[in-house]
Amino acid sequence: MTSKRILLIVGGGIAAYKSLELIRLLTGAGHAVTPVLTSAAQHFVTPLSVAALAREKVHTELFDLTAEAEMGHIELSRSADLIVTAPATADLMAKMATGRADDLASTLLLATDTPVLIAPAMNVRMWDHPATQRNLETLRGDGIAVVGPNSGDMACGEYGPGRMAEPAEILAAVTAHFTDGPLTGRHVLVTSGPTHEPIDPVRYIANRSSGAQGTAIAEALSKLGADVSFVTGPATAPRPRGPRITEVETAREMLTAVEAALPADAAIFCAAVADWHVVNAGPSKMKKEAGGLPALDFAENPDILATIARRNENRPRLVVGFAAETDDVVAHATAKRARKGCDWIVANDVSPETGIMGGGHNAVTLITEDGAEDWPRLTKVETARRLAQRIAEALA
């Protein structure tokens, strides 16, 4: 692996002393380390000791006038190949999850589009607190990689999860980040979000899909090395970091974008595409008139999944559809797989009481030619990771 530039942010916890060993391992592996110490971290390790090991200037203050004349904090945040935060304290994680930027470290983390890896470290009760777990889920959903924490004795005398991962484990995570994944060299197409079918210039037909599952799938595939083309309708979820993104509005626009993205090794059709569009959509806003409701004429939208699954040319080797159902989920999804001609169907129950449509979790059944496989209720990020790994195995 070639040398990489690592921006190392050291948070203020007793585990900060491990950052010295981490710097030694990173530089020993040939990486250049630019250190940033929070004000609290300087109570545990000194800038002098960190600078001596990193052989680079240690950054501590946001308002360094010389650097700020050239927007130094922006340059720092974007010149690295990877940002590592170790230890990532509960406070730093909370700042990252809520977008606070009140010091150099949190500003760097907010101003960057560079991948971020965190190594959490804190008291076991702080780690188990619902607020920290909510922040952790938010960070994972934002594409932040996490290593640790481990379980063990705490400096406070308690025992449990919260010990920072050992420096060797963090180095291994850094190495894995830069190592080719099982999908390196593969092109994967992912569709996501709803489509909006206009009624007039201000109204449209849509559904409740947030696009969160599609974003999570695209990012999980990217992390395994795939070259991802991401075609999305007007989703409310953040767009994935890494893939090429094409924004569309209607089902017909989505089909055009999908066909333009082919060929692909796999295509994952996660978008909740509207079944119909309004033929007589008005060029100006329809007015509420006395004497009745406006008549809307509907026509079927193109079936994007079936169109691609039944192609004779440029058909992806693996075509995966999604089936959002409210009753008889497995039966309807199994029939859909046969009807559409796709290889797999990922089925889920989107009844209102499940909270899945637009929520942060999913409970799916993977349907293949071998049958139905129920997965436990997981976050959408974990569901995406599991699906991405299965795709990698299928394309191996």
Active site residues: 156
How many other C-beta atoms are found inside a 10 Å radius of the C-beta of residue 300? Answer: 10
The answer to whether 269 is annotated as binding is no
State how far Cα 148 lies from the chain centre. 19
Q: How far apart are CA 303 and CA 287, in angstroms?
A: 32
The answer to whether 303 is annotated as binding is yes
DSSP bridge pairs for 146? 118
What Rg value do the Cα atoms of the chain yield, rounded? 24
Six-digit token pair at 52? 């001596």
The answer to whether 304 is annotated as binding is yes
List % helix, strand, coil for the chain (3-state, nearest 5). Answer: 35, 25, 40
Q: Contact at 8 Å (CB) between 85 and 11?
A: yes
Q: How far apart are CA 187 and CA 165, in angstroms?
A: 33
The answer to whether 380 is annotated as binding is no
The answer to whether 327 is annotated as binding is no
The answer to whether 285 is annotated as binding is yes
The answer to whether 288 is annotated as binding is no
Q: How far apart are CA 44 and CA 15, in angstroms?
A: 8
Look at residues 47, 46, 137, 37 and name the one whose alpha carbon lies nearest to residue 87: 37
Annotated binding residues for CTP, written as ranges, equal 275, 285, 302-305, 322, 336, 340
Annotated binding residues, written as ranges, equal 275, 285, 302-305, 322, 336, 340
